[in-house]
Amino acid sequence: MKYIIVTGGVMSGLGKGITSSSIGRILKNMGYEVTAIKIDPYINIDAGTMNPFQHGEVFVLKDGGEVDLDLGNYERFLDTELTGDHNITTGKVYRAVIEKERRGDYLGSTVQIIPHVTNEIKERVRSVAEASGADVCLIEIGGTVGDIESMPFLEAARQMQREEASHDLALVHVTLVPVDAQGEQKTKPTQHSVKELRELGLYPNIIVARCASTLPVAAKEKIALFCDVPVNAVISAPDAMDVYYVPLIFEEEGLSDYLMDKLELNASDSQSKWKKLVKRMEMTDESGNQISIAVVGKYIDLRDAYTSIGESLKHAGIACGYKVDIEWIDSDNLNGTPERVRESLRGFDGILVPGGFGERGVEGKIRAIEYARKNDVPFLGLCLGMQLAVIEFARNVLGWEDANSSEFGVTAHPVIDLLPEQHDILDMGGSMRLGNYEAVLLEGSLAHQLYGSLKIVERHRHRYEVNPEYIDEIESKGMIFSGKNRNRMEIAEIPSCKFFIGCQFHPEFKSRPENPAPLFKGFVEAAIGA
Ligand code: GLN
């Protein structure tokens, strides 16, 4: 097994996740099986309880793992499906160590960070890597070097660097080269951050320098000298037009050559598939073909909260040769008169209402859905977005003005409700229906047409469902449930509209650059036709 450990310095948000994913993609393009692990040094067990306002999207894996959004990048770049074990947090590590201690596994020893916690980290990394069957495992250590929380993980990395053969482990440090007022690229922050890493006993093999524009040789030489790496191991990572350009930029910068050498891998060039994708993106940009989609959500101030939705729209756009321009609309601002709602939504080729939790912003989303339905604007509702489409239909077509979800209070028409099965999940200590579940599609429905199959598997993250008691009445008025998992309604559509579809699951987690999610593709196609 080859390991590539990625650390970061100077500041957060430098794009370590994209760097790791891009390195992985380069190796995958060369024919290697690649897997990836994200280490998050926070104490939370997983990202499930984290607020998207603070931390961005919670990405959901096939096994129901609720994880950091970087795992979404790995899945998209590597076109793979990971499991919850691929996200290691301080919470998971300490919980395991404490459980072992209580069981007496440590035979009376004093349990310490070194070796017990660091051994737990190394064991987890190695067993996840081995179990994946991959040739190469990327390990991205979240946070920046110097954070208190990262210390046990960096120490585990140091030990791994010692234990693994030199051709089996490469350490990549991602850092920043800012530009000063005179326009000069400054390497000092990089030098300091590498110095800090070296004080911890970690010696980077490759420096990836985030910069506004490609580093000149002189800057690379300076970094190489101060950081004790060869010049060809200093890789510029200039701001890119799109994250999917990054693997090719790294390739041009010689990263793959250096990695091949260091890890004694056999280079076989086959970047062509990825090149084709990037070429298609360039051609789409040049064509000037563009559609404009309104995403009506409540976490819009932090764009990271909807990363997978943005990516999925992009994937669908690439497949259709159209650039998808996304307008993020705060649902709280759609609370005015119908005229104001119309004013805000007029002119979009499609309206998407994403998932969410809690009551804030819900009424604005319902108004957006009403606007889409009445004006026959292509509509895609995801999870809460589908539930709200059912509520809107119940209120405005069936005339049940008080129709609502029991998530938002008691009502005489709880068209969205907790099913008895959900109480079982709650009783078992879980709280949500998570991960992969199957849905059976209705023959001849829009959903069937888009998926081209009668059975699908998609990822879920929700508690509430369409209340089966109301299904007949709703269907009698023209909204049909075209995807079901026994008594759970998975897809709702209105056949009399051009394109109006909502799903209880999250198709955005399975969309890939070269293989867009069917519902997104259909939505974008409908928006192009609009
Ligand atoms: N809050 C809703 C539920 O729990 C929808 C969840 C979501 O959109 N992910 O069912």
CATH of the domain at 449: 3.40.50.880
Per the model's pLDDT, the better-predicted residue between 126 and 272 turns out to be: 126
Residues 246 and 364 in one domain: no
Residue 415 alpha carbon to ligand 1 centre in Å: 14
Residues 105 and 248 in one domain: yes
Q: Which residues pair with 434 in a beta bridge?
A: 461
How much is the pTM? 0.94
- What pLDDT digit, counting tens, does each position of 358-396 carry? 999 999 999 999 999 999 999 999 999 999 999 999 999
- Rounded mean pLDDT of 442-452? 98
The domain of 380 spans: 288-528
- Rounded mean pLDDT of 124-133? 97
State what percent of residues in the chain have pLDDT above 90.
83
Q: What is the mean pLDDT of the chain?
A: 93
| Amino acid symbol at 54 | Q
* Atom of ligand 1 lying closest to residue 416 CA: 10
Q: Which residues pair with 36 in a beta bridge?
A: 138
Residue 281 lies in a domain: no
Residue 407 alpha carbon to ligand 1 centre in Å: 9
Q: Does ligand 1 have an atom closer than 6 angstroms to the CB of 357?
A: yes
* Contact present, 8 and 144 (Cβ < 8 Å): yes
Residues 35 and 163 in one domain: yes
Residues 270 and 316 in one domain: no
Residue 354 alpha carbon to ligand 1 centre in Å: 10
pLDDT of residue 428: 67
The owner of tokens 């990262």 is 150
Residue 54 has pLDDT above 80, yes or no: no
Last residue of a domain, one of 229, 254, 276: 276
Residues 301 and 265 in one domain: no
Last residue of a domain, one of 253, 276, 299: 276
What are the residues whose beta carbons fall under 8 Å from the beta carbon of 138, sequence distance 6 or more? 3, 4, 6, 20, 23, 24, 34, 35, 36, 37, 74
Residues 95 and 173 in one domain: yes
Mutate to test the pocket of ligand 1, among 50, 66, 357, 508 (most ligand atoms within 8 A of CB): 357
Residue 429 has pLDDT above 70, yes or no: no
Q: Does ligand 1 have an atom closer than 6 angstroms to the CB of 251?
A: no
Residue 485 lies in a domain: yes
Last residue of a domain, one of 276, 303, 332: 276
Residues 303 and 449 in one domain: yes
Residues 71 and 205 in one domain: yes
- As annotated, the active-site residues are 383, 506, 508
- What pLDDT digit, counting tens, does each position of 10-47 carry? 788 888 999 999 999 999 988 899 999 999 999 988 88
Residue 530 has pLDDT above 70, yes or no: no
pLDDT of residue 71: 96
Residue 309 alpha carbon to ligand 1 centre in Å: 16
Q: Residue ranges of the alpha helices (H) in 384-517?
A: 384-396, 420-427, 446-451, 471-476
- Rounded mean pLDDT of 293-299? 91
pLDDT of residue 325: 96
pLDDT of residue 269: 63
Residues 270 and 327 in one domain: no
Question: Using CA atoms, how far apart are residues 14 and 528, in angstroms rounded to an integer?
Answer: 35
pLDDT of residue 299: 77
Q: Does ligand 1 have an atom closer than 6 angstroms to the CB of 355?
A: yes
Query: Number of structural domains, the chain?
Result: 2
pLDDT of residue 399: 97
